[in-house]
Structures are given as C-alpha cells and as structure tokens.
C-alpha cells in the first residue's frame, strides 16, 4: 500500500483507495513485458548459461569417455576426486550469486560504479577461497580421497589427479565471478565465447595427455587434470583482455583491495547464506557419493556415467533457473515488485517445461549410452547404469524447480537465508540419514539405496512452495552509496 500511496503523490492522482489501486494496477501492468518479449529476454540471458553448462558437461563427458579407455579405476578416481572440486564450485556459485544479485539490482538502478565495487569485492573473496582449497588439495590429497573410497588403487590415482588439479583452483574463481557479473548486466557474448574456447582447449589437451598425441607423454588421469589447469589459465587471460579493451564494466585492482564496509555487509548478507546453502548441499551430495563409493566401484562408475548424461538433459533447465536470478534482481532494482512477481511465476513455468523435455532426452539416449559402455564397464555396473538413468529423470525436475525458486526468486530478492535453513534441515536431517539407514542399517540392494537418494529434492518441495507463495522475498535491497 505504501508503494501505491507514493505513486499517487508522485503523479498527483486521487487519494481514494479504490482509485489508487486502479491507477497502480494500470501502471504495473504497463511495466510488465508481454509473454513473447519476456521469453526472448529470458532466453537471451539463459543461453550463455546453457552454453557454459553444455561445455562443462561436454568436457566431463569427454573426460569420462577417454578415461574409460584407460581403466575403470581411472574413471572412478576422477569422479570421486571431483567431489572435492564440486564443494569448491558450490562456494564459487554462492559468491557468484551474491555478485549477480547485487550487480543486477544496482545495474537496474543505474549505478555503474557500485557494480564495479561489487565485482572487486567478490574477486577478493574468491581469491581467498581459492588459496585455501589449493593448499588443502595440494598438500593432503590422500586424506581427501580416503573420504570417498577404500580402494587403494582408486585413492592412489585420485590423489595424483587432485594434486595437479589443485593449480586450476587459483584461476577458476576469478573467471566464474567475472562471468556472473557480466551476465547480471546483460553482457552475454563473452561468457559464451570464453567457455567455447575453454572447451576446445580442454578436450585437445586431455586427449593429447591421455593418449600421448603430438609426441607428448601418456599421463592417463593426470593428463585430464593438467588439461583442466591449462583451460582455466586460458579463461582468465580472455577475461582480463576483455575487461581492458571492451567491457562495459571493468575489473579494477583498486576495488580488489578497497574498503567497502556497508557494501561488504550487504554482500555477505546474500553471499554467506548462499555459500553456506551451496556448501551444505554439496557436502550432502558428497556424502551421497561417499556412501556409493563404499558400496563399490561398480556403483561409482555407473553413477559417473549417469551424472554425465543427466547434466546434458539438465542444461536448459538449469540455464533458465539461473537466469531467474538476473531477471528478478534487475526488476526489483527498478522497484517493480509486481513485475518481479509475475516474472518469477513465468520463469518457474519455463523451468518445469524444459525440465520435462530434459527427462525425455535422457530416456531417449539411455539405450545408446548403455550399449556404448557395455564393453567398458563391468556387467554389474552396466545393470546399475540402466536403472540409474531412469531414476535421474524425476530428480532432474525436482532440482530444476527448487533451483528456480531458491536460487532464482528468493536470492534475487535478497532472501538467501531461507534456502540455507531449508537445506540444512532437509539435506542433513532427512536426506542423508535416510540414505545412510538404507545402506548401512537396512542394507538394501545398491539400486534401492540410489532410489532413496533421488528423493531428496521432493522432500523439501512443499515447504519451498509455501514460502514462494508468501512473496516476502520481493525486496529492493539497493542503497544510496
């Protein structure tokens, strides 16, 4: 009602409440994009995110395929070691979310200087995180691998892989945060180009080091890690070159070290719950992987292939869910609360639709994937793979819906705390205990343990929808700085 009154005073319209509401409804309706224009805008923002997800998936797929020619142990070691990297990626995603929300809201407000200050602050925090994870993985890789496997061969191969891969952490955070800031202001070209170049470099390097092409030594699983390091270096070179010559917002070294007390508090208010949320979720996912790892290498290998396939099916779904953050944040930065509510509703519908298409895609390619790996995996692993790929379909839809609401709508309005609380409760007090009970107490067959794992997204969904319909997450969090 305060918004209606403010609008009426600004426009000198009658103060009668019904007349005010009618005037305000007319105003807000005129601000909301028609569905066709909105779909074009959403697709333009989601497309580079899809490209990034596709490239990341294709790189992982190429790694999995090429390591399949080395050995099942090499493939399992890489998959388990990447669970540690997955935790770091979720930390980056939390920082990138804070960057995206603040940059988008201040960009919608028209405050370019504060956008650059947010970018510098985020890069400082990402560098601190990168150094920490590098030190742990470089000096203690065996201890990390012991968390995920009891197989001496898998631990040895994974430790070598992780020690080399740790150097990529020094570069990965910068590019992810920088790309997030660009997407939040509508700069979509560089992220797409950068990740395409990164894909080409990564695949060529991986193939060269795995198979000894161009006279290079055959390094096996270590070659995959080395290829990733080189690709990350290329990414950061492209980012720095772009920010010097063409970028509308620039990375400025002075903002990397400048004091930003109020801005830091706002950033931490969004990023800290987002980081905790993503770490809690990723640690729970790592516990899932550890339980599967203790079940046996057959389940780990089958899950590695299934994850690769489901990521392909989830590309569009995750792209639109992530674009929700940008759309909602920019709209709220312009103080268009009703428009933000409508856009959130539309993005949810789009996410569900493309998620269902992803499920159809997974089921369509399932027979070909099983046949392709039949001579590369054990008979038991193949039997697991066929069933697991079916189970991933409903988990994909659930993940898309929750990501759109928690990471898109809620965080876009500055309400990151809800997602943190809900994941702490449901992941650690419901999902993880249920899977542990299924595996270690009831001692269910491995495939049923996996089935219990796929229910995690649906266990929290009723509470998530209840919070969404209350609309308390609709907030403009910008300040006059």
Q: Which two tokens stand for residue 21?
A: 């509401």
Could you tell me if residue 13 is inside a domain?
no
pLDDT in tens, 15-29: 454 554 444 444 444
- Give the pLDDT confidence score for residue 69 in this predicted structure: 67
Could you tell me if residue 22 is inside a domain?
no
Alpha-helical regions (H) of 246-314: 253-257, 261-295, 297-313
- Say how far apart CA 139 and CA 141 lie, in whole Å: 6
Q: DSSP letter string over 301-333?
A: HHHHHHHHHHHHHTHHHHHHHHHHHHHHHHHHH
Contact 446, 299 (CB under 8 A): yes
Region of 110 (left: φ > 0; alpha: ψ -120 to 50; beta: rest) is left
Could you tell me if residue 381 is inside a domain?
yes
- Closest Cα partner for 180 from 107, 84, 71, 233? 107
List phi, psi (to 5°) of 250. -120, 145
**Per the structure, how many domains does the chain have?**
1
pLDDT in tens, 195-217: 788 888 888 888 888 878 887 88
Task: Name the more confident of 32 and 401.
Answer: 401
Terminal-to-terminal C-alpha distance of the chain: 27
Contact 42, 350 (CB under 8 A): yes
What's the CA angle centered on 260, arms 327 and 331, to 5 degrees? 15
Could you tell me if residue 198 is inside a domain?
yes
pLDDT in tens, 259-315: 767 888 888 888 888 878 877 877 888 788 888 888 877 888 888 888 877 777 777
Q: Quickly state the pLDDT bin for 57 (edges 50, 70, 90).
A: low
- Say how far apart CA 116 and CA 243 lie, in whole Å: 11
- Closest Cα partner for 321 from 392, 416, 394, 401? 401
- Give the pLDDT confidence score for residue 437 in this predicted structure: 94
Could you tell me if residue 481 is inside a domain?
no
Q: Is the pLDDT confidence value at 404 over 50?
A: yes
Which residues are CB-contacts of 88 (< 8 A; sequence separation ≥ 6)? Answer: 129, 130, 133, 169, 172
Element (H, E) at 25: helix 17-31
Region of 471 (left: φ > 0; alpha: ψ -120 to 50; beta: rest) is left
What is the residue range of 155's domain?
A: 30-470
For the ranges 69-83, 191-205, 427-441, which has the lowest average pLDDT? 69-83
pLDDT in tens, 333-348: 888 888 889 999 999 9
Contact 435, 455 (CB under 8 A): no
Could you tell me if residue 244 is inside a domain?
yes
pTM over 0.75? The answer is no
Could you tell me if residue 20 is inside a domain?
no
Task: State the DSSP code for 413.
Answer: T
Q: Is the pLDDT confidence value at 434 over 90?
A: yes
Q: How many CA atoms lie within 13 A of 192 on its CB side?
A: 12
For the ranges 82-91, 373-382, 388-397, 426-435, which has the lowest average pLDDT? 82-91
Mean pLDDT across the stretch 166-186? 85
Could you tell me if residue 426 is inside a domain?
yes
pLDDT in tens, 116-138: 888 888 888 889 989 999 998 88
Contact 170, 131 (CB under 8 A): yes
- Say how far apart CA 225 and CA 248 lie, in whole Å: 34
């Amino acid at each position: 009602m305060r918004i209606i009154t403010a609008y009426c005073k600004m426009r000198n319209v009658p103060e009668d409440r019904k007349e005010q509401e009618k005037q305000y409804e007319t105003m807000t309706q005129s601000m909301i994009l028609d569905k066709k224009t909105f779909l074009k805008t959403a697709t333009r923002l989601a497309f580079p995110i899809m490209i990034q997800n596709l490239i990341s998936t294709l790189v992982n797929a190429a790694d999995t395929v090429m390591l399949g020619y080395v050995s099942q142990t090499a493939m399992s070691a890489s998959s388990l070691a990447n669970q540690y990297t997955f935790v770091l990626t979720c930390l980056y995603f939390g920082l990138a979310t804070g960057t995206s929300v603040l940059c988008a809201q201040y960009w919608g407000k028209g405050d370019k200087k504060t956008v650059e200050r947010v970018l510098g602050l985020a890069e400082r925090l990402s560098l601190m995180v990168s150094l920490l994870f590098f030190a742990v993985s470089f000096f203690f890789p065996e201890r990390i691998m012991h968390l995920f496997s009891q197989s001496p061969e898998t631990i040895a191969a994974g430790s070598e892989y992780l020690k080399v891969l740790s150097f990529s952490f020094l570069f990965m955070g910068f590019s992810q945060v920088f790309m997030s800031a660009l997407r939040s202001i509508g700069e979509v070209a560089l992220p797409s180009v950068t990740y395409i170049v990164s894909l080409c470099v990564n695949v060529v390097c991986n193939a060269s080091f795995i198979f000894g092409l161009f006279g290079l030594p055959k390094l096996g699983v270590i070659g995959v890690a080395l290829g990733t390091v080189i690709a990350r270096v290329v990414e950061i070179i492209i980012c720095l070159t772009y920010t010097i010559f063409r970028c509308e917002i620039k990375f400025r070294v002075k903002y990397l070290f400048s004091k930003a007390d109020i801005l830091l508090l706002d950033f931490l208010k969004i990023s800290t719950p987002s980081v905790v949320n993503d770490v809690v979720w990723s640690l729970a996912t790592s516990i899932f992987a550890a339980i599967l790892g203790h079940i046996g290498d057959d389940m780990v290998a089958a899950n590695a292939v299934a994850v690769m396939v489901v990521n392909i099916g989830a590309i569009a779904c995750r792209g639109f869910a992530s674009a929700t953050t940008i759309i909602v944040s920019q709209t709220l930065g312009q103080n268009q609360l009703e428009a933000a509510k409508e856009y959130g509703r539309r993005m949810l519908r789009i996410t569900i639709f493309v998620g269902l298409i992803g499920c159809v895609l997974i089921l369509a390619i399932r027979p070909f994937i099983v046949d392709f790996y039949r001579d590369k995996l054990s008979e038991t692993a193949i039997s697991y793979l066929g069933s697991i790929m079916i189970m991933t379909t409903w988990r994909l839809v659930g993940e898309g819906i929750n990501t759109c609401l928690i990471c898109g709508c809620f965080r876009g309005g500055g309400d990151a705390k809800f997602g943190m609380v809900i994941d702490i409760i449901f992941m650690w007090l419901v999902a993880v205990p249920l899977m542990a009970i299924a595996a270690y107490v009831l001692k269910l067959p491995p495939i049923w343990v996996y089935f219990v794992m796929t229910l995690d997204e649906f266990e929290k969904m009723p509470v998530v929808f209840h919070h969404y319909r209350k609309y308390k997450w609709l907030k403009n969090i910008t300040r006059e700085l």
